[in-house]
Amino acid sequence: MTEPMHLSPSPSMQMTDYHSRRLGLSFASIGARLGWVYLGNELVYEFGRTEEENSIREKVSLHLPTWIRTMAYLAPIPFHSFSEKGQEWELSVVRLPEAEVPAFALVLLERGASLTQRLWEDLSNQILTFCATGISLREKNLLDFDTIIDPIRKRMEKAFLNETKSGVIAFFHLQDLSPFFKPMGVIKSQEILREVTTTLHKETRENEFNFQLNPRSYFVFCPGETLDGANHRFGSLYFPSKHLILDYKLKIFPIDAEILADDAKFSSIFLENF
């Protein structure tokens, strides 16, 4: 593994820094110098560095159509060997058991090293779990806290420029959906998250807006709304998704221009619920 550890999710992935690091550690834990994940024809995640990267990309592009047609699940095959910095390396490719979209992992190990079937299965489970929480159809990307806080604040400040001087923020923290992501697959898992957003859109009025902070946390900003009014609107809201009724925790906070102007107060609301 090279230092510092190189981690690069695709812009089409809704992956927080935490998820990116965790997936990188999954590759590092098996001794991989390089770990790449492909969904279909797209390289969606990169761990590690090598001077052979361009060559590997070209070879993958040539072989992907054949892999998609013929490669069996969880049957790793050697793909490319080379020498670098006095060491011998071997790159293997494995198809992940994802039925809805072709999914592959490329793993670079020292030549002669091998992984047991159990380790390949464990790596596959971890990759598909993180991909299921992170994949998007190029709608909006989930952003880290520092990136989203300023535009959210500015948008709220505009709401208080006229006669409206206060409102509420309603946070919805969903149950942990990760146990469902692996068996349901990448596409259906993303559909669950999309249906949550659709439900909130239906409950969001014209002068309000909602935002997804991460795969479990969503909020609705309601200028002019009161705590009692928000409790009445959202207290009995439910999120139907496939054959599930998703459980969640609801927290409602008052917000006004004074709180917006106080970095500590404003940030604490979001940090607690990020």
What DSSP assignment string belongs to 2-48? -SSPPEEE-TTB---HHHHHHHHHHHHTTT-SEEEEEETTEEEEEES
Considering the domain architecture, whether residues 237 and 213 belong to the same structural domain is answered as yes
pLDDT in tens, 11-53: 666 666 777 888 888 899 999 999 999 988 889 899 998 999 9
Considering the domain architecture, whether residues 247 and 180 belong to the same structural domain is answered as yes
Q: 141 Cβ partners below 8 Å, 6+ apart?
A: 11, 12, 13, 14
Q: How many domains does the chain have?
A: 2
pLDDT in tens, 143-198: 345 556 777 888 899 889 888 999 999 999 888 776 766 676 666 776 777 788 88
139: in domain: no
1: in domain: no
The pLDDT value recorded for residue 138 is 31
Query: Tokens for 13?
Result: 């992935």
Compute the distance between CA of residue 65 and CA of residue 59 in angstroms, rounded to an integer: 11
CATH number at residue 79: 3.30.450
- Find out whether 185 and 100 touch, Cβ atoms under 8 Å: yes
Residues in the chain: 274
Neighbours of 271 (CB within 10 A): 10
Q: How many CA atoms lie within 13 A of 66 on its CB side?
A: 7
pTM, to two decimals: 0.51
- For tokens 């259906």, the residue is 188
183 upstream amide cis, omega within 30 of 0: no
Considering the domain architecture, whether residues 113 and 154 belong to the same structural domain is answered as no
Q: Which of 23-27, 93-97, 100-104, 212-216 has the lowest mean pLDDT?
A: 212-216
Which one, of 236, 240, 243, 273, lies nearest residue 255 by Cα? Answer: 273
Q: Is the pLDDT of residue 221 over 90?
A: yes
Considering the domain architecture, whether residues 261 and 229 belong to the same structural domain is answered as yes
267: in domain: yes
Query: Tokens for 39?
Result: 């969904």
Query: What's the CA angle centered on 214, arms 210 and 215, to 5 degrees?
Result: 105
Considering the domain architecture, whether residues 265 and 176 belong to the same structural domain is answered as yes
Query: Tokens for 269?
Result: 């609301």
Which one, of 70, 46, 71, lies nearest residue 56 by Cα? Answer: 46
70: domain range? 7-134
